[in-house]
Amino acid sequence: MLALPALAEWQPTKVIKLVVPFAPGGQPDVVARTLAGPLAKALGQPVVVENRPGAGGNIAADFVAKSAPDGHTLLMGTNGPLALSVVIYKSVPFDPLRDFAPVTLVGTAPNLIAVQPSLGVLSVRELAARARAEPGRLNYASVGKGSISQLSMEMLNAMAGIRIEHIPYNGGAPAVMALVAGDVQVLSLNPTAILPQVKAGKLKVLAQTGATRSAHLREVPTVAESGFPGFEAGVWMAVVAPARTPPEAIARLNAELVRIIRDPALKASLWDRQGIDAVGSPPGEVTRTMRAEIDKWRDVAGKANLAVE
């Protein structure tokens, strides 16, 4: 019997755009730029990182969704535009499950729930007890309405039956400074923003928000381990292409990106620079992650009335 012919290996013919839905300098931007060089070398074409910030990542996502499905335009997506947007925003011009072809899950990262040492709580369980005992006193900072920084705390509010009030800030740096100054009492944010203040003795970490402990934070318990089983509110990033991108293009992009992401030196760089646990996955894992996240956060957002116009 003759073997079936294999799909011809896809080869890009022009510059590849890797679109980032946020401003330069943030986690997705740094990760995209970390991957761009090795990917360009592997594919034999330049890979240009293009920042298109705005509307919680929706501007960039919509641009990529409506781009030619030829493998030359990709999105460095996060759980913002790929899951949270359809939950938080009343109107979104794209459907993340319908309008994108997943390539690979790049990495995940927990947030860290931190407090001032002067608050005198040593665990999330103690934080919840303080919130019950002193209703209306505790506030938490976030990097903006609809962010995972807010949603992780709203999930804690719902699971613990407490009410820690939300105060949004314009970015991670001012949110951290507000906690250090005592303007707020709690913050859920990425490790690279929190840990320098922890090392300086100005903040205390209570827990990490992932489903399991990060390999880089073995000493920090999860929220689930701290008395709230089932709690999971991590950050994730994935590369996606426009829907109807040819399967051979997706296969080649996946193979090259997974090889790059799993390189030990690059994995170490992603954690050291941005607190990202590198993954590298089959395309189907992205779809499963998106579906699960949309379902989970729709419930949390509904309870907290987080709709944004």
C-alpha 167/C-alpha 178 separation (Å) is: 10
Per-residue confidence (pLDDT) for residue 309, from 0 to 100: 64
**Domains in the chain, ordered, with CATH?**
16-108+235-304 (3.40.190.150), 112-226 (3.40.190.10)
CB atoms inside a 10 Å sphere around CB 262:
12
Is pLDDT of 118 > 80?
A: yes
Mean pLDDT of 176-204: 95
Residue 7 predicted with pLDDT over 60? no
Burial class (CB within 10 angstroms; exposed 0-12, middle 13-18, buried 19+) of 229: exposed
181 Cβ partners below 8 Å, 6+ apart? none
**Rounded to whole angstroms, how far apart are CA atoms 295 and 80?**
14
Which residues are registered as beta bridge partners of 100? Answer: 242
Q: What is the pLDDT of residue 41?
A: 97
pTM for the whole thing? 0.87
Report DSSP state, residue 105.
Answer: E
Asked whether the predicted pLDDT for residue 66 surpasses 90, the reply is yes
Rounded Cα–Cα distance for residues 223 and 213 (Å): 10
75 has pLDDT over 70: yes
User: What is the rounded distance in angstroms from the CA atom of residue 68 to the CA atom of residue 50?
Assistant: 16
